[in-house]
Amino acid sequence: MYGNIEIDAEKRSNIRPQHILFDLDGTLIDSREGITKSVAYALTHFGINVEDLSQLYAFIGPPLSDSFRFFYHFTENQAQLAVQKYRERYAVKGVKENKLYKGIENLLQNLKSNGYQLYLATSKPENFAKEIIDYFSLTSYFTFIGGSRLDNTFHDKVDVINYVLQTNHISCKNAIMIGDRKYDIEGANLAGIASIGVLYGFGNKQELQECHCTTILHTVDDIRQYFCGK
């Protein structure tokens, strides 16, 4: 470890690829308000009222249908209906209830000016992801924006990552995934690319270490220093 950067020594040779894939929720934006309020809205359809929205933070990261089944023991049909109800609110209100983490635009500017190619790889439906990135005027920084589909295509994070890599003809050896949850790191591992876990989002150090993250960074500025230097 040096500074606020922790690197697995065995994976040191994989660092600083030119193609950088970013997660969205918990990595570029603080999306807890829009997601938790939309989950709570969906749950009310089933007679479940959640007053403390922090109880729903676990929904940030994994596919929604999986979370409804895991946390509320919904059947497959119930989970799919819950996702529909979630999107009913999210498409109108939730998509605008996000905050850009401090320093993100400066980070993207620095990465682009240093020759890195930037991509979005999110489990959020691609149309929502594009709307959010455009809302924050970040679209010009990204070579490609990839997400899941409303028909449940690209359900798992590895599917989204492979979709981005294959569509853009990117070699696994020259790509790295940046995210805040184990789903991002596990997806990167399955896709055969290096990974950076960040601690300012919704995950934690133990979670990132247990899924064998290549590198752990503490802040947005740590990402800039990691790729661009002081």
Under 8 Å between Cβ of 39 and 60: no
Q: Which tens digits make up the pLDDT trace of 7-32?
A: 554 454 445 799 999 999 999 999 99
To 5 degrees, how large is the angle CA 139–CA 219–CA 227? 65
Cite the active site residues.
Answer: 23
> pTM for this one?
0.89
Name the one residue in this structure whose structure tokens are 């691609």: 126
Closest CA to 20 of 203, 146, 125: 146
Average pLDDT over residues 160-165: 97
Look at residue 3 and tell me whether its pLDDT is greater than 50: no
Compute CA distances 28 → 82, 108, 152, 185, whole Å. Answer: 26, 10, 23, 16
**pLDDT for residue 204:** 94
**pLDDT for residue 230:** 72
